[in-house]
Chains A and B, each alone.
Chain A
Amino acid sequence: MQHLLGFGIPGVPYGCTYALVAVGLVLTYQATGVLNFAYGAQAYLSAFVFTYLVQNQHLPVGVAFVISVVILAPAVGLILDRLLFRKIAPANVIAKLVTGISMLVGIPAVLSVLFTTSNQYNPPSILFDPNVVYFHLVGTPINGIAVTCVVATAVTLIALVVLMRWTNLGLQMRGAVESRRLIELDGVNSGRVVASAWAISGFIAGLAGVLLAPIYGQLQFSDYAALMVAAFAAAAWAVLRSLPVAVLVGILMGITVTVLQGYLPVGSIWSSAALTSLPFVVLVGALLLVPGMRTLGQDKDPLASVDPPPPPIAAAVRAPEFDRVIKILWYVLLVAFSLSMLTWMPKIWENVFNAGLAYSVVFLSITLITGMGGQLSLCQATLAGVGAFTAAQVADRLGANLLVGALVGALVAALVAVVLATASVRLRGLGLALMTIAAALVFDNAIFAQVATIRGQSINVTSSSVGFGILNPNGRAFFVLAMVVLSVCVVLVLRVRNGSIGRFLGAMRGSSTAASGIGVNLTWMHVLVFGLSGAVAGLGGTLLAINQQAVNTQTFSWSFSLVFVVVVVTTGVSTPEGAIQAGFSFVVLQQLLTYVPSRLGGNSLLVILFAFGALTYVAHPEGILEFQKRRWTMRFERLLLRQRTSSTDISGPDAGATAGDGQLARVAADSDPALDR
């Protein structure tokens, strides 16, 4: 018992931050229907600014706290609401997730560009001195960090209870729990309720951020992502609804982590993995065991039928003759590119394009799960890593060629994906995103480190392990290999897309209700498409490893999974074409950025570019690049057709077309009569 308490008490500060973040997540979810994936970044932002102001600007802690937590944090919440989340239709779960992830990726990148240094050490504590032991509790020394966490959390939670119980605003916020539309009908200013929820939760994020900072010696974004995932787990047990349960589970999780670490053998993998694995286990437990989580995604709003059906997305049309021209142009480009790669391409760019091909394969897996499956996975880099590490280990154990290993790797990655999909199947929409981000952290912290070495050495890919001259210095053989793999994958993906499974998935995306109503097994589709996606990602991972001539953990870190998502969403998630564009723009821009002065931010700039590009998903789910391409196609097409026919009959839009809003729709509607000819 003494032991247990001794191990458990140091976990309380963690538990406090988990509890706070979980409360903030539940609050926004209840008031606005958004599960805020940007929350970890919000916490990090405040902690970063706070530490910066104290360490670099030498401001007093109190002043820094007011600026970073009292002013900045709620402001960020309000800005996120005003500029982003308020514009998203309530039912569009994927758009909300994509927007949150854009910010989760974008905010830290912006910080590292603005403040040039991303490393901040020894963040200060807001109330009590971390280096002073204030008292002992059952033999455990209690320092300033722990006291600060407990005091600040208690004060905040009490203030929140007072607010919710005894103020008009709190009453309205609790009303929002029942139905957002109900309070609107009641004449309550729901905009104010929503804005308050964002501001309050923003403040809580900032507070949790500065509380967590001194627990770790160095300020690192990954700790905040882990914090957010742990809070997701706590919030899941609360069915994203009950604040007391969220607090309780959060604190229990904090305590459990240190207890586990205390009892597990010191220095063992289990001990270091406990911190990131526990949230995953707790989250899986919630998804499997808490009945309310199953119906979470479903529309429970009793007034839902008041809503008109969502506007249909604009169907892009391209005249067949024009289509043919574009296709021919693509083929010409492909041949020219291939010939160049095999002859005169400079070494640097040859490497860049080869990497682009490998990334394209990985990104194709996102086309499968997000574009076709309509789900968001936040562990595609992890699945690629599963493929690559398995390939390397299998090839080594069996003495087989790495390419044989690649097939085994793809299979194992598919299996991992199937397991994740099965575990999250009850929570459509949010489930896979939650499950996969938690899984990515587990693989990163607990599993990849175990398989990242062979006989104590980091894994290098040598020409003897691949053979076929693929690792020849001129890179041409690799180009051929990558082209073959990519082509096969693209053809298979297209076949699935145009076949029965693609139609089932299209039905599922269009209306899951009607899809199951005609006999589509949604669970099976969900598992199948994620399994396929895992296989493709695994294959791409090995290809990437061959291209880099090494299998290392950095390439497949969890943060890349997030970056991958924003990259592909920006270029176009619904077509294989989009994945290939993503692969190439990712590496080409990366290369181009090496030519600009590094003080401009280097790779962070790239991340920012795509993070903000992905924000356009709300308006253009087909991808901003795809949208611009279509738009220019249409303009061009109209120009051509206008020349050929007299301009008389390109007058008004087709009366029958009820295309949704957006420029694309207007352009499409404008040109409809002309295209019909």
Chain B
Amino acid sequence: MALTANAEALLRVSEVTKTFGGVAAVDGVSFSVRPGESVGLVGPNGAGKTTLFNCVCGQLRPERGTIELNGRSLNGMATFERARLGIGRTYQRVEVFSDMNVRDHLIVSVRARWRQGRLWRDLCNLSKPTADERERVDAVLDLVGLSDRADTSVSALGLGSCRLVELARALIAEPVLLMADEPSSGLDVHETRELGAVLRQVQRDQGMAMILVEHDLEMVAEVVDRTVVMNLGQVVAEGHFDTVMADPIVRSAYLGLHE
């Protein structure tokens, strides 16, 4: 792969603006993520973090700005095409496939990512999970700690487990960029700590880049290399977690709306 001038950045977001009814939810945001880097995206509620995620993965079309992955513009590309390029994510509002079991969540993810689902294969009854697929599914389930619930329907799982299912579903597709949207919301302290450990481990093992939106700052501090702070649709600070958190602008954004 030829290295161009900006190939150093895996994801490059430039001047992205997305408005809802005239109000800018994301307002000229620029930042980039290097391969293998883990970035925390924090900010008060309504700062535009989820909206930014939706712009990156294609669920929303920004009015202005460009988003590039590996130097390739994603503008005009459908969500599923971006997913096949290796953008994986989890959702703030849990989005699981309600009548499927945990294992099928992972299998469907593998097959969608590498376009392995073919009608003729189904018709010839060649679509049973392969040994290779089962092995990979088991490995990922083991990693996130869902092995004992592989054959449970997600409708019988609690919110915490559903978040893990989402994470596993994203991980098995071996994303080059994982975007996790408040993975710890709805989890208890213990589960949150476990989740943090899992995130750190997979990030190191698989060497993927990650953007973590999270309200639990302790977890952010543990997991990320760099932190971007958003407020009212704009990036207000960027840098190492401790430095950023010492920034008075950041403190006021947080203190103003939180405590």
Contact surface of A with B, Cβ cutoff 8 Å: 302, 305, 307, 309-310, 312-315, 492, 495-496, 498-504, 506-507, 509-511, 513-522, 528, 654, 656-660
Contacts and interface: CB of A to CB of B under 8 A. Distances in A.
Given A312-B98, A511-B95, A517 B83 contact: yes
Interface stretch (B3-11, B107-115, B227-235, B244-252): B107-115
A516 B117 contact: no
B187 to A, nearest CB: 15
Most chain A beta-carbon neighbours within 10 Å: one of B89, B111, B115? B111
13 contacts: A305-B92, A305-B93, A312-B98, A313-B155, A315-B155, A498-B127, A500-B122, A503-B107, A504-B112, A515-B112, A518-B112, A519-B173, A658-B155
Given A506-B104, A518-B83, A528 B111 contact: no
B80 A499 contact: no
A513 B59 contact: yes
Interface in B76-116: 78-81, 83-84, 88-89, 91-100, 104-105, 107-109, 111-113, 115-116
B57 interface: yes
Nearest to A529: B119
A658 B158 contact: yes
Interface of B: 20, 57-59, 78-81, 83-84, 88-89, 91-100, 104-105, 107-109, 111-113, 115-119, 121-127, 153-158, 166, 169-170, 173
A510 B124 CA distance: 26
A510 B88 CA distance: 18
Contacts of A659: 155-156
A506 B97 contact: yes
B121 A309 contact: no
B165 to A, nearest CB: 10
A521 B126 CA distance: 21
A504 B119 contact: no
Contacts, number: 143
A315 B116 contact: no
A506 B108 CA distance: 9
A517 B57 contact: yes
B153 A315 contact: yes
Most chain B beta-carbon neighbours within 10 Å: one of A313, A510, A528, A654? A510
A500 B108 CA distance: 7
A400 B122 CA distance: 31
B156 A309 contact: no
Given A507-B100, A517-B59, A517-B79, A312 B109 contact: no
Contact of B79 (A302, A309, A516, A654): A516
A517 B99 contact: no
Q: Which 3 A-B pairs have the closest CB atoms?
A: A510-B97, A500-B117, A499-B122
A660 B98 CA distance: 11
Given A503-B104, A503-B108, A312 B95 contact: no
B122 A502 contact: yes
Nearest to A654: B156
B157 A658 contact: yes
A212 B96 CA distance: 48
A372 to B, nearest CB: 11
A316 to B, nearest CB: 10
Contact of A506 (B88, B99, B113): B99
Given A498-B127, A657-B156, A511 B96 contact: yes
B224 to A, nearest CB: 22
A461 B97 CA distance: 46
Nearest to B108: A503
A525 to B, nearest CB: 9
A502 B108 CA distance: 9
A503 B117 contact: yes
A355 B96 CA distance: 41
B100 A506 contact: yes
A501 B120 CA distance: 10
Contact of A501 (B79, B80, B84, B122): B122
Contacts of A506: 97, 99-100, 104, 108
Contact of B125 (A495, A511, A514, A518): A495
B213 to A, nearest CB: 13
Contact of B123 (A492, A504, A511): A492
A487 B33 CA distance: 54
A500 B80 contact: no
A495 B96 contact: no
Given A500-B118, A500-B121, 19 more contacts: A307-B93, A309-B93, A315-B156, A495-B122, A498-B127, A503-B111, A504-B112, A509-B97, A514-B91, A514-B166, A515-B97, A515-B112, A516-B58, A517-B59, A518-B83, A518-B170, A519-B112, A519-B173, A659-B155
A517 B115 CA distance: 14
A499 B83 contact: no
Contacts of A516: 58-59, 78-80, 83
B84 A500 contact: no
Given A312-B155, A510-B100, A517 B95 contact: yes
Most chain A beta-carbon neighbours within 10 Å: one of B93, B94, B99, B124? B99
Contacts of A309: 93-94
Contacts of A521: 78, 80
Contacts of B169: 514, 518
Contact of B117 (A312, A499, A514): A499
Nearest to A500: B117
B205 to A, nearest CB: 21
Nearest to B79: A516
A659 B157 CA distance: 9
Nearest to B161: A656
Nearest to A512: B95
A518 B122 contact: no
A500 B83 contact: no
Most chain A beta-carbon neighbours within 10 Å: one of B88, B95, B126, B154? B95
A658 B156 contact: yes
Nearest to A657: B156
A504 B94 CA distance: 18
B19 to A, nearest CB: 12
Most chain A beta-carbon neighbours within 10 Å: one of B92, B108, B123? B108
A504 B112 CA distance: 8
Contacts of B127: 495, 498-500
B123 A495 contact: yes
A601 B83 CA distance: 56
A418 to B, nearest CB: 13
